[in-house]
Amino acid sequence: MLLFGSFLAYAVYDRIALKGRTPTALIGTTGRGGVRNDVIAVVLGVLFYVIFLVWLHPLLIGRAVVTH
C-alpha cells in the first residue's frame, strides 16, 4: 500500500504541476486539456484496481485480499 500509494501521490502531484509549467523545447504543452480524459483515467484506474483486488489477486497470488 505504501509503495503504490506513493506512486499514486507522485503521479497526481506531477499531473497537477504539469499544467502550470511553461512549454520548453523538450516538453511541449498544447494548453489546458479537458476534464473528460482525467475522468476516464481515474475511472479506468479504479476499475482495474477493483478487478485485480477481487478476482485476479487470488488467481495469480493465491491469497484473497478481500473476503466475500
pLDDT digits (tens, 9 = 90+) for 14-26: 988 888 777 777 7
**The three grid cell numbers given for residue 16, joined into one nine-digit string:** 497537477
**The three grid cell numbers given for residue 65, joined into one nine-digit string:** 485480499
pLDDT at residue number 20: 79
pLDDT at residue number 1: 86
pLDDT at residue number 19: 80
Break the chain into its structural domains and give their ranges: 2-60
Helix (H) or strand (E) holding 12: helix 2-20
Tell me what the mean pLDDT of segment 43-58 comes to: 92
pLDDT at residue number 5: 92
CB 56 within 8 Å of CB 48? no
- The alpha carbon dihedral of 39, 40, 44, 45 has a sign of negative
- The answer to pTM > 0.85 is no
